[in-house]
Amino acid sequence: MSGETRTFRGLSLAEVEAKVRAELGDDALVVRQREGLTGGVGGFFQRRVFEVEAMAGPSGGPQAPVAPAEQPRLAAKPAAAQLADAAPAAKPDSAPAPAAPAPLPDDFLGALDAAPAAASPAPGAESFLTTLKAALGPELEQAAVEQRAAQAAADFVPDALAAAARVVQAGAEPARPANGHGAALAALFAPDAPRAPVAWPEDDDEPVAAPVVAQAPPAPEPEILPALPAAAPAAAGVQWPAGARRVQTRLLDRGLSDGLVGEVLDEVVTHLLPFASNGRIKPLVASALARRIPAAPLRGAGGRVVGFVGPGGAGKTRCVARLAHAYAVRTPAPVTCLTLRAEDDGAELRRLLAPCGVPVLALDDATEARARVDRLPEGALVLVDTPGVSPRAEAELRALANELRQLRLDDTHLALPATMDPAAGRDLVAGTRSLGVDALALTHADETERLGTAIELAIETGLPLSYVGRGTIVSGGLRPALPEELAAAVMA
């Protein structure tokens, strides 16, 4: 027996088996069997191919039939039986290119049955044919069906592609009829032909007239008002120097609005910067902002009655104590403090003023308070601390306004915390207008850097800033509001 193996390929196991038997004999040994796919168009219509590696059996190749007594005993399974055992083997990862397919008989088993009886085979050969037919029968039938389907598909593809090309070239023109499967594909790609409208059977009954529905008069079209003229954009931006941009960011961070910042910078860049010798923009901006800040500390000589109003916790009592301390220590004018309807009966105010000896009167009636004021020495400075009131408490506001009229105040200062946001500050000013507010006393100025909010509120309302309070100490915690200092604080 030769150890050389040979490779046989075919479209079916029957074809491969025929090649093996023809070249290696009936007792050939199958060493390896694989199957894969080949051919096709675009990954479709591929055909299955079988590959078998075999070697010659003990006889060494095809031999003439011999008598049963002379036929040698096979040392291994016949080739047909080995092919049948290897039929369900797994497909290889990649099938090699198949050899040219040989024509497959339509019925291999029928061909075996129709073999001429004259060639009466030996008993061993008859047993081999019987075993071969039993093992390869289903596989051969399936292979024949698959080969016929693959051949039909191979014939179908060229006709279908040609028909599709003719349809594309003809455009709306109907394609010529094709034979076989090509006609079906051409009809699939052909444009839809216009179809005649469906004629529905008409009813014999007379048509019923539709009821006439009275139409409502059309609604009048809404009147389109002319669009409001758009606000002219600020000359800002594009013509501002780089230094103006940095100043703009600083002012916005300090609580000023975009509108006020743009107005100030426009004035500086347009009208002040051309006359500046050194070209520095920050001093010019501080000067332009200071000119817009209204400020008015106490006016006139002695002999005035000054009251402080505002919500609870705004800093009214400390404003009264600091102002009284400053005038009592540094001026010869007599100073008296009056607290109206104080919950602690004036204890807090007395504690704050104890070092400087300023008298404190705690009264609950405005008429009596006015009588006590009239008995004070001429030229005395009277400072009035009022109860806290909410800008939304209308009844309390009316009662306090009536009491302040009886006291006949010369000046009324609203304690405005610097920590208030713009909306809350506007509400506070609007709600306390009925109290006769003349000025804004800025309190808690040390608790925020956004002093621009209160400054812009004074500019909007026209109420001047009178004093600025910082910290908690009485001595030195209050200063008159100076526009230059406020502008410098915003620019710092």
DSSP 130-147: HHHHHHHHHHHHHHHHHH
Q: Is the same domain home to 337 and 486? A: yes
Q: What is the DSSP string of 412-455?
A: EEEEEETT--HHHHHHHHHHTGGGT--EEEEE-GGG-S-THHHH
273: in domain: yes
Domain closes at, from 118, 150, 182: 150
Domain closes at, from 96, 131, 150: 150
Q: Is the same domain home to 37 and 117? A: yes
Distance separating alpha carbons of residues 77 and 57, to the nearest angstrom: 9
* Residue 181 binned pLDDT confidence (cut-offs 50, 70, 90): very low
Its pTM stands at: 0.53
Lowest mean pLDDT segment, chosen from 157-166, 379-388, 425-434: 157-166
Here the tokens at position 196 are 């005649």
Distance separating alpha carbons of residues 457 and 238, to the nearest angstrom: 28
pLDDT digits (tens, 9 = 90+) for 304-353: 999 999 999 999 999 999 999 999 999 999 999 999 999 999 999 999 99
186: in domain: no
Distance separating alpha carbons of residues 480 and 417, to the nearest angstrom: 16
Predicted pLDDT at 123: 52
Edge-first strand listing for the sheet containing 29-38: 5-10, 47-55, 29-38
Asked if pLDDT for residue 199 goes beyond 50, the answer is no
What's the maximum distance between 2 C-alpha atoms anywhere in the chain?
Answer: 162
Asked if pLDDT for residue 293 goes beyond 80, the answer is yes
Lowest mean pLDDT segment, chosen from 233-242, 351-360, 389-398, 473-482: 233-242
Predicted pLDDT at 157: 56
Domain closes at, from 150, 183, 218: 150
Residue pair 492/253 in contact by the 8 Å Cβ criterion: no
Check which CATH number belongs to the domain holding 356 and give it: 3.40.50.300
Q: Tell how far CA 449 is from the center of its chain.
A: 35
Q: Is the same domain home to 482 and 336? A: yes
Q: Is the same domain home to 463 and 359? A: yes
Asked if pLDDT for residue 252 goes beyond 60, the answer is yes
Question: What are the CA-CA distances from residue 176 to residues 165, 167, 170, 185, 331 (Å)?
Answer: 11, 8, 10, 12, 120
Asked if pLDDT for residue 207 goes beyond 80, the answer is no
Distance separating alpha carbons of residues 124 and 27, to the nearest angstrom: 11
407: in domain: yes
Asked if pLDDT for residue 62 goes beyond 80, the answer is no
CB under 8 A, 24+ apart: contacts of 388-397? 388/310, 388/311, 388/312, 388/313, 388/314, 388/316, 389/309, 389/310, 389/311, 389/432, 390/311, 390/431, 391/311, 391/427, 391/428, 391/430, 391/431, 391/432, 392/427, 392/431, 397/431, 397/432, 397/434, 397/435
Question: What stretch of H or E contains 52?
Answer: strand 47-55
Residue pair 74/57 in contact by the 8 Å Cβ criterion: yes
Q: Is the same domain home to 474 and 396? A: yes
Q: Is the same domain home to 279 and 425? A: no
- Please indicate whether residue 161 or residue 151 has the higher confidence score (pLDDT): 151
What is the 8-class DSSP label of residue 377? P
DSSP three-state, residue 51? strand
pLDDT digits (tens, 9 = 90+) for 107-130: 444 544 554 444 444 555 456 666
Phi first, then psi, for residue 480 (nearest 5°) are -60, 145
* Residue 69 binned pLDDT confidence (cut-offs 50, 70, 90): very low
DSSP three-state, residue 72? coil
Distance separating alpha carbons of residues 462 and 456, to the nearest angstrom: 10
Asked if pLDDT for residue 422 goes beyond 50, the answer is yes
Count of the separate structural domains present in the chain: 3
Q: Is the same domain home to 310 and 282? A: no
Q: Is the same domain home to 144 and 52? A: yes
Predicted pLDDT at 205: 47
332: in domain: yes
Here the tokens at position 120 are 């009466």
240: in domain: yes
Q: pLDDT over 90 for what percent of the chain?
A: 46
For 25, the domain range is 5-64+71-150
265: in domain: yes
Asked if pLDDT for residue 171 goes beyond 80, the answer is no
Asked if pLDDT for residue 3 goes beyond 90, the answer is no
Q: Is the same domain home to 286 and 319? A: no
196: in domain: no
Q: Is the same domain home to 313 and 462? A: yes
- Please indicate whether residue 208 or residue 399 has the higher confidence score (pLDDT): 399
Q: Is the same domain home to 465 and 320? A: yes
158: in domain: no
Q: Is the same domain home to 143 and 250? A: no
